[in-house]
Structures are given as C-alpha cells and as structure tokens.
Amino acid sequence: MRRTILARRQRRAVLWAGVAFVALQLGFGVAVESGLIDVRDNTNYSYRAGHLRQQLAREPADRNTAPLTVVMFGSSRAMNAWQASELEQPLRASTGRPVVAYNFGVRGGGHIYSSLSLRKLVAEGTRPDVVLLELFPPFLGEQADTELRWLAANELRSREFELAEWLGLQSDEVRLHWSQRWLTPLYTHRVYLLNRACPQLLPHELRANWLMVYDDSGWVAHNKPPPKPGDVEKTRRMYAANFAGFRLGGPSCRALRETLDFCRGEQIACGLVMLPEASQVRGWYSAEMEQQVQPFLEELVAEYGVKIIDARDWISDEGFSDGNHLRVAGAREFSERLNGELLPATVAVALDRGSQNR
C-alpha cells in the first residue's frame, strides 16, 4: 500500500515538473517574441543602439534643433578605426548645430549586419542624417559566408525573417533556429541568461561587458602592440575563402544596394568607406578581383550619387596590429584625415536640412 502511494506521488511530481518545465519554456519564449524580454540587450546591436541614444540625449533639452547625427556602420575594423568624436567640434563650429558622431562598428559586422542595424535604428526612432558604410570588397563575392556565420538567426524576431532571408540567410536555417528558439528558448538564449545571472561562468568573448570599453563616440581603442610574426597570417586564413576564386555577387552585394535604397528613401545622406589595410592585405587583392569590383563601385556612384572613400593605403604597416585592425596611433591618423574629407560634405548636408526645415 505504501509503495503504491509513493509511486503515485512520484508520478505526480514528475508530471507537475514536466508541466512546469513546458510552461517556463513557453512563457520565456512568448516574452522574447513579444519584446518583454530583449535577448539582444547583451549583443552588439543593442549595446550600440542604447549608447547612441544616450549620446543623442546628452544635448541640452532647450535646443530647438535636433542634433546633426553622423553614424558609421561596419565591422570591428571600423570599430577600432574611426574616432568619431573628433568630427563633432569642427562640425558644430561650421554648422552652429548640436552634433553627435558615432561609430556603430561591431565585431563580425558587414554589409548585411549594417543593413539590418540601420533599419532597426530608424524603426526605433533614431534616424541618422549621415550614414557611413564600411565597404569591404572581399565580402562582395558570391562565396563569402564569413558574415553569415557571425549573424545569429536566433536573435531575429519573426518580422525580421523576410528581410534577413532576402539578404542571404537561408530560409531553412532561419526557420530551424526559430523552431529551436520556441521549443527550447532557455537553452537557445542561455548566453543571455548567464550574462544576466553570472557572467563569470562565460568565456571572455561571450561576456556582454566586453562591449563597454568604447568611448562616448563608440570608438574602441585598440591598444595591442605591432604585429608579431604570424598575426597577419591568421588574418589571411580568416579571409582566405573570400579572396580565393572571387566572383562578384551574392547576399552582401544585395545588402549594400538595399541599404543605399533605404537611405535614399529615408533621405539619409550616405557614403562608403574602404578602411585602411596593411600592405600585405592589399597584396591579396588579385587583378581579377579588382576588375570585378571596380565596375560595380562605378555603378553605385552613377546610380546613387554616393561618394566612395578609398582609404586602404592611408596608414603604414606599423599602424596595424594584424594587418587589418588599426592600433591607436593609426586610428587617430586615419580619423584626422577621414574627418577632414567628411567635413565639407557633412556641412552641406546640415545646411540642406536646415533650408528644408525653414
């Protein structure tokens, strides 16, 4: 008799534990999908977007003119390269307007991530006046999948699937991640939960607080020493597939055009910047690759009137840590020259916006 009662209690306990587990998974999944819990608030995008909004809010509340906003989107190469704050003072002096210049570069970003990020920013109410897009030619090839490997499908909400799939994420992959998120959301978003509860249990690269080292303009100072033997070789291996057998086209080209279309529709001024690269990296560009990329860039200039700044040879090899990322001295040299080129065009945008508002 006692054994029968005990067995019933055990079965009941297991049943209720299963019900509680399913309810917890379902509740967490609903909260994520509805936005009550934003699992992206420990990701590149959300930190950057929140920090940009803080910088926009810092302007005096009695200003009648909204800040002139200049934002650069790109990868960690951009994140380490552009000291955006150095543009603000001369731009304020030239326009008489409050100014916020911001570096929105993120680790693993590219043309696809930039397209998604800009759309999200505008949808959330943050609309830049000027957008700078990092242009990385190796990502313009059909075989380039480096960026797609970094783009986490399980961070996308349902309404973002269509655009992500059109830009290049495979439909089956997106739907699989979405299904996994609903079936086991606590497991799928375990990094988010651990970042909230106990980030010490995560390896450094998965901790959210590594993103908090940027200055007020979003620039991350890259304090590493000059490259050691093998550092540039690591970079070469990372991008070898992007250079080998290059064939122009694919998701990244599509995303770049989509971003330019979006900027034109939103009346956002846009420029493309090819960031500095060490001489070894520039040597990886084959003549065939340049012959494919150059006509494509000329098409963009003709179709969109966009300015392209080719800064690949601006900085000497000593300014890089790995041939790809600028050290502090190199970043300051690059920023000074880039800001000098940006200032006249950005002043013209500010004056045009001012005349439209009068």
Domains of the chain: 38-59+66-152+206-357 (3.40.50.1110)
Check: pTM over 0.85? Answer yes or no: no
Q: Closest by alpha carbon to 119, among 43, 36, 45, 37?
A: 45
pLDDT at 146: 58
Mean confidence (pLDDT) of the chain: 82
**DSSP character string of 250-313:** SHHHHHHHHHHHHHHHHT-EEEEEE----HHHHTT--HHHHHHHHHHHHHHHHHH--EEEE-TT
pLDDT single digits (tens) 211-251 = 556 788 999 988 877 777 788 888 888 888 888 889 998 88
**Alpha-carbon distances, residue 159 vs 165, 178, 224 (angstroms):** 11, 12, 40
Rounded (10°) angle between helices 171-183 and 2-34:
130
**Alpha-carbon distances, residue 272 vs 78, 88, 96, 342 (angstroms):** 12, 19, 26, 11
Q: Closest by alpha carbon to 111, among 253, 303, 312?
A: 253
Q: Which residue has the tokens 């000098």?
A: 340
pLDDT at 176: 64
For the chain, which ranges sit under pLDDT 70?
Answer: 1-3, 32-43, 59-64, 143-182, 196-197, 204-213, 351, 353-358
Q: How far apart are CA 34 and CA 291, in angstroms?
A: 47
pLDDT single digits (tens) 310-336 = 999 999 999 999 999 999 999 999 999
